[in-house]
């Protein structure tokens, strides 16, 4: 049995490890604890994705519902509910989920990895080196660069954290002339204000003055003053981290794979980091299973992962571009100029056109492996969609395009299958 080692115990690394265990693989995971206590705002969709990945303990006591206020382009409104994920509690739960699934955990800092065509040698601080047949890199933005990939405008997020007075859980987003801020407070009084700015044009002071500079900027915002009620800030801390959108030029080889932020890291405005991490991680176990057990499909498996990661990255990038374009007050400012036209002019959500649907052979996931099948290429699914509700779409679309009546084409489906397939056809512009 192959020795599979996962580097990183965030949502992406954990999801891959659990998926590999379900496929019968032995997995060792190496990780060090996060060095700062963070809070993340996530949607119900993210919680559902985490639950679907089997991360139940991680969710047990980590998410607090919050009504989110949005102040953007001079307008204020209450957006849907946001859930505040306490990362220390969440990370402890991740480890419980991994142990329960039988994943071997090694707590330690990875100092380096030496790779050969057949093996990987992993150096861990203060411990013996670890050998692996297959390596999963889920170390996030800390993963070493593999060359020059695609990068968005250089961006940094400055997270301010302090202890305030206990109160109601809440979160808010505010656009500013030179960036945007996300703020949150928990019922226990923990407060967070994260300011995201352009590295090139922000003209930030030196490290020694940065904390005070952030405090001044925060207090200059009427939205932030009202949100935090001008409370005393006890134990104020600052953590700076890159939030530049980055796509790795390579995300899969014969005996290694990258997932999560190690494969693609998105701008925090364009999509929740946890959701995009899971998006690339959930497909990885089947890709790895194929590389290990069906080497004749190696090229297909690598193409599947590479294409999916690239497509996800561009989708998130275009969503972010459109959010930035919604803010019109400061379109001439460097921060907004750089982000309102990147990565391209392609629409994020193309209009559906049934006549434009194409049928092609493409890699798909089937029974824990990457296989090839006929898929339907749509405006929103340029890599193709294979089936919905267990029904293969290509044969149905082909018959409909040949002029067969829908009643005849869908006659063999169950009531539920028929309902879901008809709904999908309508979203694709099909007019019965």
Q: Which domains does the chain have, with CATH numbers?
A: 4-65+79-146+245-334 (3.50.50.60), 155-242 (3.30.9.100), 354-427 (no CATH)
Per the CB < 8 A criterion, the answer to whether 366 and 290 are in contact is: no
For tokens 């961006």, the residue is 155
Distance CA 13, CA 120 (A): 17
> Per-residue pLDDT for 391 more than 70?
yes
> Per-residue pLDDT for 341 more than 90?
yes
Task: Identify the pLDDT of residue 7.
Answer: 98
- Per-residue pLDDT tens for 205-225? 999 999 999 999 999 999 999
Q: From the CA atom positions of the chain, what is the Rg in Å?
A: 23
Q: Which residues are CB-contacts of 296 (< 8 A; sequence separation ≥ 6)?
A: none
Helix/strand/coil (H, E, C) string of 117-148? CCCEEEEECCCCCEEECEEEECCHHHCCCCCC
- Provide the 8-state DSSP code for 355: G
Alpha carbon 300 to chain centroid, angstroms = 23
Task: Identify the pLDDT of residue 110.
Answer: 96
Q: Do the bridges between strand 104-107 and strand 27-31 make them parallel or antiparallel, or are there none, so unpaired? A: parallel
Q: Do the bridges between strand 234-242 and strand 120-124 make them parallel or antiparallel, or are there none, so unpaired? A: unpaired
> Per-residue pLDDT for 303 more than 80?
yes
- Per-residue pLDDT tens for 157-178? 999 999 999 988 999 999 999 9
Distance CA 87, CA 58 (A): 9
Give the whole-number percent of the chain exceeding pLDDT 90. 79
For tokens 């080692």, the residue is 5
What pLDDT band is residue 44 in, cutting at 50, 70 and 90? Answer: confident
Query: Taking Cα atoms as reference points, which of 238, 353, 235, 247 lies closest to residue 310?
Result: 247
What pLDDT band is residue 68 in, cutting at 50, 70 and 90? Answer: confident
Mean pLDDT computed over every residue of the chain: 93
What are the counts of helices (DSSP H) followed by strands (DSSP E) for the chain?
13, 23
- Provide the 8-state DSSP code for 354: G
* Whole-prediction pTM: 0.93
Cis peptide before 407 (omega within 30 of 0): no
Per the CB < 8 A criterion, the answer to whether 364 and 344 are in contact is: no
Residue range 21-29: mean pLDDT, rounded: 97
Task: Identify the pLDDT of residue 324.
Answer: 96
Q: Do the bridges between strand 246-247 and strand 150-151 make them parallel or antiparallel, or are there none, so unpaired? A: antiparallel
CA distances from 182 to 35, 78, 179, 194 (A): 21, 14, 10, 5
State the DSSP string of 32-52. ---SS--EEEE-HHHHHHHHH
On the CB side of 128, how many CA atoms lie within 13 Å of its CA? Answer: 2
Strand partners for 377: 358
Residue range 302-331: mean pLDDT, rounded: 95
- Per-residue pLDDT tens for 411-421? 989 999 999 99
Task: Identify the pLDDT of residue 132.
Answer: 97
């Amino acid at each position: 049995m192959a020795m599979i080692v996962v580097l990183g115990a965030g949502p992406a690394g954990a999801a891959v490890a659990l998926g590999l265990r379900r496929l019968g693989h032995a997995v060792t995971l190496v990780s060090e604890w996060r060095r700062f206590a963070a809070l993340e705002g996530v949607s119900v969709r993210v919680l559902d994705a985490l639950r679907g990945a089997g991360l139940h303990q991680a969710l047990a006591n980590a998410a607090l519902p919050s009504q989110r206020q949005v102040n953007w382009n001079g307008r204020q409104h209450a957006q849907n509910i946001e859930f505040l994920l306490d990362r220390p509690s969440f990370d402890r739960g991740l480890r419980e989920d991994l142990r329960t699934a039988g994943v071997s955990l090694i707590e330690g800092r990875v100092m380096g990895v030496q790779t050969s065509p057949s093996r990987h040698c992993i150096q861990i601080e203060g411990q013996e080196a670890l050998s692996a047949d297959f390596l999963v890199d889920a170390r996030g933005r800390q993963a070493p660069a593999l060359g020059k990939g695609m990068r968005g405008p250089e961006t940094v997020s400055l997270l301010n954290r302090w202890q305030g007075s206990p109160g109601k859980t809440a979160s808010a987003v505010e656009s500013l002339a030179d960036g945007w801020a996300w703020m949150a407070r928990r019922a226990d009084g923990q407060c967070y204000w994260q300011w995201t700015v352009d590295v090139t044009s922000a003209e930030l002071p030196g490290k020694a003055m940065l904390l005070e500079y952030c405090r001044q900027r925060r207090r200059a915002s009427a939205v932030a003053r009202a949100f935090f009620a001008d409370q005393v800030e006890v134990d104020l801390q600052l953590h700076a981290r890159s939030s530049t959108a980055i796509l790795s030029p390579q995300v899969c080889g014969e005996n290694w794979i990258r997932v999560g932020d190690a494969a693609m890291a998105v701008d925090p405005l364009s999509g929740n980091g946890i959701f995009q991490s899971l998006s690339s991680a959930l497909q990885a176990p089947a890709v790895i299973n194929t590389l290990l057990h069906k080497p004749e499909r190696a090229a297909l498996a690598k193409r599947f992962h590479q294409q999916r990661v690239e497509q996800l990255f561009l989708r998130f990038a275009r969503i972010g571009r459109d959010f930035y374009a919604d803010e019109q007050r400061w379109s001439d400012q460097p921060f907004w100029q750089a982000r309102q036209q990147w990565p391209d002019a392609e629409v994020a959500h193309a209009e559906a056109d049934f006549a434009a649907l194409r049928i092609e052979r493409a890699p798909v996931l089937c029974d824990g492996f990457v296989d090839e099948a006929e898929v339907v290429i749509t405006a929103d699914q340029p890599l193709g969609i294979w089936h919905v509700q267990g029904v293969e779409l290509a044969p149905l679309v082909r018959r409909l395009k040949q002029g067969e009546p829908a009643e005849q084409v869908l006659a063999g489906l169950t009531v539920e299958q028929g309902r879901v397939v008809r709904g999908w056809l309508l979203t694709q512009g099909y007019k019965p």
